[in-house]
Amino acid sequence: MNNTEQKYILVTGGTGKTGRRIVENLHKIGKATRVGSRSSTPAFDWNNDSNWGACLENVEAVYISYAPDLAMPGATDTIQAFVDLAVAKGVKRLVVLSGRGEEEAQACEKIVINSGLEWTVVRASWFFQNFSEGAFVDMVLAGQITVPAGDTLEPFVDVNDISDVATVALTQDGHNGEIYEVTGPRLMSFADIAADLSAAIGRNIAYHDVPHDAFVNEVKASGAPQDVIWMLDYLFATVLDGRNSSLTDGVQRALGREPRDFRDYASKVAKTGQWRAAA
């Protein structure tokens, strides 16, 4: 390979919540970027390794965002195969998005950590954007967040903060060997989320705690994809048990600033009209 060839940053999940924001960040700072998605050329698909080699050609750094979650059965085998190929292709740096409090995801982290390449781990849990770009949008529009969450406190985090942390880890020195657990600035229950959404939108958004099995059955009845059903079942049954009910300083350490607050996020989204209920 000609060492003078342009080097790229590969962003897997490049059209997802974190990936597309990282791609935007990289474009803004003039970094040659390859979007890893099924709709790109070459196409990237975690379930089909036939194009992985082409996607990794002339790549110096990779953002690893595995869909739907690193805790999925079989994820470790996939990540091991991908990391092995990245090493063989001459990649220098890996940044992996992992799940906070997920032991299965941390098995995938170890593969990245033991790769021999420069590495950074970004651990996150519940995203603000789940309420505007994810599984809970329809609930907000309907005015009722109906989930089996009890009064568990979670440090919900802004996807923009995750993406900013990943961007500096991909492009700047000083982040090698770091595990950044990223959280928002305060612990929140789903009832707190509903209250903040109500204030921002100007109409009541209620929170209803429901039995776990009833919630999963409702998700199945909605026609959600099997991997989404699995992920929501796993997150509410396993991760939402209080294990993550503490704040961390990952955003502060990586970026030198405070993380964004849910109220600010809710206010900005509300102003777009996205949560305006249908007449």
Name, in order, each residue with C-beta under 8 angstroms of 155's C-beta and a sequence gap of 6 or more.
Answer: 125, 183, 184, 186, 187, 188, 244, 245, 246, 247, 248
Cβ contacts of 69-74, under 8 Å, gap ≥ 24: 69/99, 69/102, 69/105, 69/231, 69/234, 70/96, 70/98, 70/99, 70/102, 70/104, 70/105, 70/108, 70/109, 71/99, 71/102, 71/104, 71/105, 71/234, 72/104, 72/227, 72/230, 72/231
Q: How many CB atoms lie within 10 A of CB 185?
A: 18
Q: Where are the beta strands (DSSP E) in 216-261?
A: none
CATH code that applies to domain 8-272: 3.40.50.720
- pLDDT at residue number 278: 63
What is the sign, positive or negative, of the torsion defined by CA atoms of 216, 218, 219, 223?
Answer: positive
- pLDDT at residue number 83: 98
pLDDT tens series, the chain, 279 aa: 445 689 999 999 999 999 999 999 999 999 999 999 999 999 999 999 999 999 999 999 999 999 989 999 999 999 999 999 999 999 999 999 999 999 999 999 999 999 999 999 999 999 999 999 988 999 999 999 999 999 999 999 999 999 999 999 999 999 999 999 999 999 999 999 999 999 999 999 999 999 999 999 999 998 988 888 998 999 999 999 999 999 999 999 999 999 999 999 999 999 999 999 765
- pLDDT at residue number 134: 86
- Residue boundaries of the structural domains of the chain: 8-272
- pLDDT at residue number 50: 97
- pLDDT at residue number 156: 98
- pLDDT at residue number 237: 92
User: In this structure, which amino acid lies at residue 204?
Assistant: N
